[in-house]
Amino acid sequence: MTPDNNIIPPPLPSEYHQPVSYGKKIFLMGLMCCVLMFGVLTIWIMSYSRESFNKEVAESIVNQWGKSVYIQGPAVKENLDSNDWVRPLKFDCQAEVETKSLHRSIYEAEVFTANVNMSGAFERDSLQSLGDTVVFELGVVTKQIVKLNSLKICEKEIPWHKSDDYLFVKVNLNELPETITFSTAFDVRGSEALFIKQIGENSTVTINGDASNPSYNGYSLPIERSQTHKGRFAAKWEDSVPDGVTYTDNLGFVGTNFLVGVDRYQKVERSMKYSFIIIILTFISVLFVEIMRKQPIPLLNYFLVGAALIIFYSLLLSFVELIPFGFAYLIASAMTVALVSSYMWKMLQSCKLGLSIGGVLSLMYLFCYIMLSISTYALLFGSLLLFFSLAALMYASLKLKKYDTCNLS
């Protein structure tokens, strides 16, 4: 029996002829964005948890390596228990710093090693009131010293004696000339900061080395400072502690904090702040394509695209624990753009539209990376991103055909 080609199929139900309600669709897309933000929140909680554990591991590394380094001295005292001290007439200290990262599994801590050279001079007359035998004392946590040279006084080398918090030697003043010169050098290791007390009546302190993000702090700011793009920095102070300051006072210290800056977990968390904007702009781009092609796209497809944008942050968090942030961001964004572009290509049966959506998404990720890299101008670039996005949408809206009021209600 052959089929009858003249048989007319029954009409489709009336709901299939109803126009797309874009107003309702936009409302549902807004709700969908809010639901997707719970996924971002989950990844943020995961990042915060892993960051907290990283800080615990870093603190453990720092406790073994050494914390902030404070150096004061040398000064001359009558004995180790005396509170009276005489500071040098001239004091010069130079520190060469080298920073590095210590790793434990996938976690790391920023530490440094500093080579410290100091020299200066005392006038013997200023020391006479302390007696014939005096003590040269240099305040520093001796556990953090990894290499120590002798104290050279008037070209005579005298080995240091160690206590927990200072170095000291006893000297007979009767064996010394009117101007007592001194010099010494040692290597010290620590983390976070290096501070040196401007202990002389005329003091010069110089700190230079390699550090990505040094911050100068203390009793006064350096009179000279410089930093290159390669991470090389130099700072110089010329000042002295005011009269009346005791040897144990915290006044007079100058130095450098070695800030890690925005670490990898903080960058991941900062990137999540832009997730809502990226999702919204991507959804609007897809909606414009839908309207221009008069090809309805189910909300499920929107949700899957949004899920891919959320997975980006999970990928970023996973990669950033293994490789530098820049490479992690590049790989995660490339994977996400490739996934969304190919999905739109297959769904719309148009290579051009798929690549166009991928291009828009790539530009948004590029702007976000720039904002993460230069935090000082993040607000400016964020505003520019919104401005150009709005301008592009306004221009694209001019190409839309006018729809019936019922279609847009």
Condensed to tens digits (0 to 9), the pLDDT of residues 107-166 reads: 777 888 999 999 999 888 878 777 778 888 898 988 899 899 988 988 888 899 988 888
Q: What is the mean pLDDT of the chain?
A: 80
Domains with residue ranges and CATH for the chain: 20-52+265-408 (no CATH), 67-261 (2.60.40)
Condensed to tens digits (0 to 9), the pLDDT of residues 170-194 reads: 888 888 888 888 999 999 998 888 9
Q: What angle do CA 53, 256, 267 make, to 5 degrees?
A: 35
Strand partners, 138: 167
Condensed to tens digits (0 to 9), the pLDDT of residues 331-372 reads: 999 999 999 888 888 887 778 878 888 888 888 888 888 877
| pTM of the shown model | 0.68
Distances (CA, A) of 273 to 53, 173, 284, 390, 403: 22, 66, 19, 19, 35
DSSP strand pairing (133-139 vs 151-153): unpaired
Phi, psi of 192 (to 5 degrees): 75, -50
Strand partners, 254: 196, 218
Cis peptide before 222 (omega within 30 of 0): no
Q: End-to-end CA distance of the chain, in Å?
A: 50
Condensed to tens digits (0 to 9), the pLDDT of residues 257-307 reads: 876 655 778 888 888 888 888 888 888 878 877 777 777 778 888 888 888
Local structure of residue 143 (DSSP, 8 states): G
Strand partners, 362: none
Q: Residue 23: in which H helix or E strand, if any?
A: helix 22-65
